[in-house]
Amino acid sequence: MQQTALIDMIEDLKSTLDRLGHDYTLLRSSVPDTVAGVELPKSYQLFLEHFVPNGSEIRFAQYHAVTFWTQEELESVQTPAQLRSGWLNVGSFDDQPLVLKLNDSEDGDPAVYRLAAGYPLRMGSSLFQFLRILQLSLDMLGVLGDFDEAVPGFQEEEEMGYHDSYEDAGAMHSREEVMDEFYREVEMIDAESMDSWVLEQETLES
């Protein structure tokens, strides 16, 4: 793991959050070596030190959100079952546990998963790659709401339960182009995790 590259990635993510008006902590924090009797991976220690999660929700792609637990919350959110399975709970992804795979950390930068109904979906082959994809989603998918607002009558049609205007179809086409470009970028960053970032189209259209 390249520590300098990870720190630079964290600073880039903070800059993106600042530009988009998200809240994050400015002060760096001292970090423990262990939580709930588990040794923290080096990459996650750097994340806690330089990003300093404050528990606020980071929203992207209109209806999706990531939350990173604060350092003070970490001990209380761990469960014996997850720890026995080698998971370290570090946050939530759409209200599903966001976890690090502790036994997949030979270089100190473990893979990131979300536990969807208990089933693990890989969101990043490393914490570094997960943060890159999260920043990409913030940069690229913030425009999705613009398509809805730009379509005359979209909200009225949405409330009545149908979408049949030519303008609406044009907006959906533009939305699909944005998503296709996003998936291509994710594949270049981390092909093994791309399928888990396929956001459900019906969710985006709701």
Domain boundaries, the chain: 3-130, 139-205
pLDDT, tens only, 3-22 = 999 999 999 999 999 988 88
Q: How confident is the model over 175-186, as a mean pLDDT?
A: 89
Residue 93 and residue 69 in contact, taking contact as beta carbons nearer than 8 Å: no
pLDDT, tens only, 40-59 = 999 999 999 999 999 999 99
Tokens standing for residue 95:
């209200």
Note the residue count of the chain: 206
Q: Please report the pLDDT score of residue 173 as a whole number.
A: 56
Q: Per CATH, the architecture of 3-130 is what? A: 3-Layer(aba) Sandwich (3.40)
pLDDT, tens only, 71-117 = 999 999 999 999 999 999 999 999 999 999 998 766 789 999 999 98
> Is the model more confident about 96 or about 63?
96
Residue 154 and residue 168 in contact, taking contact as beta carbons nearer than 8 Å: yes
State the average pLDDT for the chain: 83
Does the structure show a pLDDT above 80 at 66?
yes
Q: Which of 113, 122, 133, 128 is nearest to 188 (CA)?
A: 133
pLDDT tier for residue 146 given thresholds of 50, 70 and 90: low
